[in-house]
Amino acid sequence: MENLEFFLIPGLAFLAVVAIGGALLVARAASRKRIEERLRRLGDEDAAAAQEGVETRQGLLARIARAFSPGKPSESLKAELARAGFHDSSAAAVYLGAKVLLLVLGSLVALAIIVPMKLQLPALLLATASSGILLSFVPNVVVHLARQKRRDDIRHHLPDAVDLLEICVSAGMGLDMAWNSVADEVRRVSTVLADEMALTNLEMHLGASRTAAMRHMVDRTGAEELGSLVAVLVQSERFGTSMAEALKVFASTMREARSTRAEESAEKMAVKLLFPLVLFIFPVMLIVLAGPAVLQIAKHLTSR
């Protein structure tokens, strides 16, 4: 009986501590879950509000574009916007609406600034039109920079993706399965390339041929390296050569090209630094070094 009491009291104490600790952990987890749910709801509401605001602005720009250009946007414009990453159906209308809005806004701002100067009418009209036209080219610059950024991102990460593709094919995977696996792995470092590869895989699943789907990817991105990759895959499949070996050679060639571009950029850096040095750094150094001497000479000359 004494042995039973000896073990019973510590056991009950242990169970009591475990029960109290478990109850505290459960209460803390429930409270944390409620907070997370509340934050998630607030985040969803903010995201929905932001999305609604974006859609409202896009709708306004699209209506402006339809008012000034009732025709449909050209296919070349849609292709340029797609290469910049704007795949939405209303992207062309938003682009044209932004150009028209900036044209009008730039003209009005220039008119408000120039009217107090009391210029002649021809000069006033020329300055107003020039300001509006210059400001209307801002969407062109934005699209060009976005397109260049996507192209550089694809060009930088494509050799690594080709290496992964070659490893998967060498391991015995089919090209379609390897393409899908590489798209999932590349997403960690390049969402642009991963999205394009996933969209190509989706087109193949919907019935498009592999060649057509890959050529569509080249048209969407405008990257010459992707065109070369598609050509290598098509030729390897058509002539029955080793696809793994072809991918290995292509990846090696792309890495060499990337190293060559890096060396060219390093060589051009000296020429690019020449203009800032001449315009900004050398005058400051001349003022700092020769300034005191010039002041002393001027002081002695004036004292005489």
| Inside any domain, residue 105 | yes
134 and 226 share a domain? no
Strand blocks (E) in the chain: none
Q: Do residues 237 and 192 both lie within one domain?
A: yes
Residue 201 is encoded by which pair of tokens?
A: 């895989």
Within a domain: 17: no
The DSSP letter of residue 74 is: P
Find out whether 178 and 165 touch, Cβ atoms under 8 Å.
yes
Q: Which domain holds residue 180?
A: 148-261
Instruction: Tell me the torsion sign for CA atoms 36, 41, 46, 51.
Output: positive
Let me know if residue 25 belongs to a domain.
Answer: no
User: Is 236 found in the same domain as 153?
Assistant: yes
Domain count of the fold of the chain:
2
24 lies in a domain?
Answer: no
Q: Tell me, yes or no, whether 32 lies in a domain.
A: no
Where does a domain end: 101, 123, 144? 144
Structure tokens at 301: 């000359």
CA angle 198, 155, 86 (to 5 degrees): 55
Per-residue pLDDT of the chain (304 residues; tens, 9 = 90+): 445 445 555 555 556 666 666 666 666 666 666 666 666 665 554 444 444 444 455 555 556 555 555 556 677 777 888 888 877 777 777 777 778 788 888 878 777 777 677 667 777 778 778 888 888 888 888 888 888 888 888 888 888 888 888 888 888 888 888 888 888 888 888 888 888 888 888 888 888 888 888 888 888 887 788 888 888 888 887 877 778 888 888 888 888 887 888 888 888 887 888 888 888 888 888 888 888 888 888 888 777 6
| The pair of three-digit structure tokens given for residue 206, joined into one six-digit string | 């919907």
CA distance readout (Å), 40 to 27, 44, 162, 275: 20, 6, 39, 52
Same domain for 94 and 107, yes or no, is yes
Question: Are 257 and 156 members of one domain?
Answer: yes
Of the three residues 144, 159, 181, the one that is the final residue of a domain is 144
Cα 172 from Cα 170, distance rounded (Å): 5
Q: Do 189 and 248 fall into the same domain?
A: yes
- Note whether 88 and 138 are same-domain residues: yes
**CB within 8 A of 81, min separation 6: which ones?**
87, 91, 92, 95, 143
Same domain, yes or no, for 153 and 225?
Answer: yes
Prediction pTM value: 0.62
The secondary structure of residue 214, as a DSSP letter, is: H
The answer to whether residues 209 and 230 belong to one domain is yes
